[in-house]
Amino acid sequence: MIDQAQKLREIARDAAVRPPSPLIQRVSSKRCVSIAVTSGKGGVGKTTLSLVLASSLAKLQKKVLLMDADLGLANLHILLGLAPRFNLGHLVAGECGMDDIIIEAAPGVYLAPGASGLERLANLDAGRLERLRMDFMGLEDRYDYLIMDTGAGISSAVTGFARNADLVLLVMTLDPSSLADAYAMVKVLYEKGSTNIAVAVNMAANEREGRARFDDLNKLVVKFLKKPVELYAILPNDSEILRLGRKQIHLVGQGGGNKFYGITSLLARRICGAGKIGADSGFFDRLFKGMR
Ligand SMILES: Nc1ncnc2c1ncn2[C@@H]1O[C@H](COP(=O)(O)OP(=O)(O)O)[C@@H](O)[C@H]1O
Ligand SMILES: [Mg+2]
């Protein structure tokens, strides 16, 4: 019988998940590490990866706030089988407080649901914006990780989250249009001053093809933008993940038997092993300053 450790070793060999990166040497801080899961193109697995990564970090005893930052298609709560009464939109509209919206979705995983309405932040008066800034900043000491499931594309609504995050996890697939869209995303994020971009190739038929697609991206990035991105994970096309997604099953808390979960768990270890990522100021401080 193959024991758990051997299984993990095999997964590690296959997975192209390497040890902690010098890319993200970290300033020590009590604030949570913010990770924006984003993509140039929709339907590449951002929501799925956000959920499974949050679950994997929670299994490492980390406290995770999962924020639905997809303004167009906020669906994390649906995948978690939750029907929240209040969401971030209500908070911004002043219809509820921060504590009313955050739900413990699974042990260690807390959800801030539904982002539609967040775009109204930009139109609030200075006093109200400052109150919200304080409310959001208050969250940063309460969690180890903030994972934001953003929308796709290079609109300012998406890049606002990504450019201010400590780490951008850019998800792409083998699809040729995903390559062009991922490149466009890197370009915009670099222009906006983002430095920590980690790539996850999802739905890869095998590791070789996943790596080749990453190399295609990185070659373009190095040639035209002069600063490489880093490969963080190659995730397989997995019929079980598809089945769970279609059935809208609670992904958090699912068993760790398959390769997708195994690699995501190694990705979580890698992120934890990197220590604290990023800048002196907190994510929400940066986000709100950008709105002034
Ligand atoms: N590795 C994978 N293997 C198979 N299906 C996947 C995988 N990752 C995501 N999916 C499926 O692809 C679809 C889109 O994923 P989703 O996470 O909603 O993408 P996004 O948030 O980027 O739009 C869902 O049906 C999901 O179950
Ligand atoms: Mg999504």
CA-202 nearest atom, ligand 1: 1
Do residues 109 and 55 lie in contact, with contact meaning Cβ atoms separated by under 8 Å? yes
Cβ of 242 closer than 6 Å to ligand 1, yes or no, is: yes
| Binding site membership of 74 for ligand 1 (Cβ less than 6 Å) | no
Is residue 21 over pLDDT 50? no
pLDDT in tens, 113-126: 986 766 677 677 88
**Beta carbon of 202 within 6 Å of any ligand 1 atom:** yes
Ligand 2 centre to CA of 150 (Å) is 7
Which ligand has its closest atom nearest to the C-alpha of 73?
2
From 242, 244, 248, the mutation candidate for ligand 1 (largest count of ligand atoms within 8 A of CB) is 242
Indicate the number of domains in the chain: 1
**What pLDDT digit, counting tens, does each position of 86-106 carry?**
998 898 888 999 999 999 998
Q: Cα 5 to chain center, whole Å?
A: 27
CA 280 to chain centroid: 20
In this structure, which amino acid lies at residue 40? G
225 vs 281: which has the higher pLDDT:
225
Q: Give the per-residue pLDDT at 74.
A: 83
The angle formed by the CA atoms of residues 137, 138 and 143, to the nearest 5 degrees, is 95
Query: Mean pLDDT throughout 192-201?
Result: 92
Using alpha carbons only, what angle is made at residue 196 by residues 139 and 285, rounded to the nearest 5 degrees? 30
Q: What is the CATH number of the domain that holds 247?
A: 3.40.50.300
pLDDT, tens digit (0-9, with 9 covering 90-100), for 53-76: 999 999 999 999 999 988 777 888
- For residue 12, report the distance from its CA to the centre of ligand 1, in Å: 22
**Domain range holding 19?**
4-289
Q: Specify the length of the chain in residues.
A: 292
Helix axes 176-191, 156-164, angle to 10 degrees: 70
- As a whole number of angstroms, the distance between CA 115 and CA 241 comes to 24
